[in-house]
Chain A
């Protein structure tokens, strides 16, 4: 019966979500990119000359426009742009989702502890959050990149660490209001430990909100990683859309090769847009106030 309740809630939410034009558009675009990411696993079947990183068409040593062999043309050493684009989709998903996941876990945990504990713990954690919040992530990544060669996983971790504070602020205020509810009081009287109250009673109530913020975090993580790669400080062993734009730019092809300049930028912008739309649509599912306002039209 408990399980049914969740399923029912999910179905209700889903029906609101899918009716929303933004949610629908977001899902459609996202599906296309997911297919691209899946397709990237089949690229090696095409042979070594199609490898997005090391493969180069031996017959073409320069950047040429779209042809039957290379649907989107080749880059400055003859690598296939379409295959790079597929690989980029995979990397963008990895970066976006893992960054968002880590920062949400961190942000939710810290937010719940901060809100529940209150007092000096709360003040201290929130001051630390303030500090992270004012720092520009890209600038931090740049200064770290001057000292270390950052691999893709280190970049993911740093972005995640920079992005938890805004999540924990929201989770904290949610926890503060939950703390006043009778059922928390009741479980305290029943002798539940703080840990049990946080994880069994508060967490299920703040998780939907955390998921909502996850979609927004995906957007910003993808953009920051792409910007870093574009500036030439990304993981050199990993093709990404930002890296592709870096190659167009640094090899001086940006005004000569629109077939090369346009696709990665369109992909980054569309993917982040679709995650953002997803978030806005989910916002509506979770916030009945917004829904009513829409329905009133």
Chain B
């Protein structure tokens, strides 16, 4: 089964990459100035507890043993205790993950869908006023400075107009009261619209530009001429023959631009105080909460790698020309 082999190879590759990153991170934390003990052990702990934690993390051992303990701890899910929350970091980041995934997948899917649609229209009407307008807007969206755009959105739609909350994910009063589930879901959606809108606008531009240029390329292919010669309607040529093939590179770019989207996601979470992983990482870094920062970083890395795998698989499924 060639396909199974392809998946297997990809998995091996991901595991190797992850191990390299895990190792680099370990050495970075030991190379940095200062004592690694003060970095991994909460200064607020009693000496008794601190010594226990040092033993648990293997910080009193030689470096190579420390590394083994670190890898073992990672795979048993023991990533240390957050200084700020006083809780195991594993629990904290796992509770934040759904919020990030919710915001992230919704915005990416919506933007990719709208980008493919608008890019198709733009390329089909190449040179028209509509095309010029769409291309220029996409260009501006693509190069916008994300935090600034988010601040403007917040200022205009939440502060001035007052249509949306200034941040967060829920209204505590609603969730304490015994409101129905639908009210609670609507409350989350109400909080989600602004960050979603920001991420959507930013990603829409790049998908639109990509789809436009892919579509323009496809329209020059011979099979489009064949389709015309066969007397197929323009609509069928546009939607069935051209757009379907042009959309493939857009899917790959979802994977390739993932790193870029994560940057944008973290910034958006930070400004709209959306309780996700990106915001948690920024919080941890500002408060020198090293165990939490390390865990957030590893989780983001893992998510990126897995998402890349999914995109690869999706691509091989969608493009029948690719046979592994």
Spell out A's residues near B (CB within 8 Å): 127, 130-131, 133-139, 142-148, 219, 223-224, 226-227, 230-233, 245, 249, 254-255, 261, 264-265, 268-269, 272-273, 276-277, 293, 297
Cβ < 8 Å to A, chain B residues 42-80: none
Of the candidates B17, B20, B127, B146, which one forms a contact with A227 in the assembled complex, judged by CB atoms under 8 Å apart? B146
A-B contact pairs, 22 of them (CB 8 A): A133-B256, A134-B17, A135-B301, A136-B266, A139-B300, A142-B281, A143-B25, A146-B290, A148-B33, A219-B143, A223-B145, A227-B145, A227-B263, A231-B282, A249-B151, A254-B154, A255-B159, A261-B151, A264-B148, A265-B151, A265-B152, A269-B144
Interface class of chain A by DSSP: helix
Q: Are B151 and A254 in contact (CB under 8 A)?
A: yes
Of the candidates B127, B146, B286, B294, which one forms a contact with A232 in the assembled complex, judged by CB atoms under 8 Å apart? B286
Interchain CA distance A272-B305 in the complex, whole Å: 29
| Chain B residues closer than 8 Å to A143, beta-carbon distance | 25, 28, 281, 285, 293-294, 297
Cβ < 8 Å to A, chain B residues 96-155: 126-127, 139-140, 142-149, 151-152, 154-155
| Chain A residues closer than 8 Å to B7, beta-carbon distance | none
Q: Shortest distance in angstroms between B215's beta carbon and chain A's nearest beta carbon?
A: 12
Q: Are B139 and A277 in contact (CB under 8 A)?
A: yes
Interchain CA distance A223-B143 in the complex, whole Å: 8
Interchain CA distance A245-B259 in the complex, whole Å: 23
Spell out B's residues near A (CB within 8 Å): 13, 17, 20-21, 25, 28-29, 32-33, 126-127, 139-140, 142-149, 151-152, 154-155, 159, 216, 220, 256, 258-260, 262-263, 266-267, 270, 278, 281-282, 284-286, 288, 290, 293-294, 297, 300-301, 304-305, 308
Of the candidates B127, B147, B149, B260, which one forms a contact with A136 in the assembled complex, judged by CB atoms under 8 Å apart? B260
Q: Are B151 and A226 in contact (CB under 8 A)?
A: no
Q: Are B259 and A134 in contact (CB under 8 A)?
A: yes
What 9 pairs between A and B have smallest CB-CB spacing? A265-B148, A147-B32, A138-B263, A136-B262, A268-B145, A146-B285, A136-B259, A272-B143, A273-B143
Interface class of chain B by DSSP: helix
Q: Are B263 and A136 in contact (CB under 8 A)?
A: yes
Interchain CA distance A29-B292 in the complex, whole Å: 43
| Chain B residues closer than 8 Å to A134, beta-carbon distance | 17, 258-259, 304-305, 308
Q: Are A230 and B147 in contact (CB under 8 A)?
A: yes
Q: Are B266 and A138 in contact (CB under 8 A)?
A: yes
Q: Shortest distance in angstroms between B315's beta carbon and chain A's nearest beta carbon?
A: 15
| Chain A residues closer than 8 Å to B284, beta-carbon distance | 146
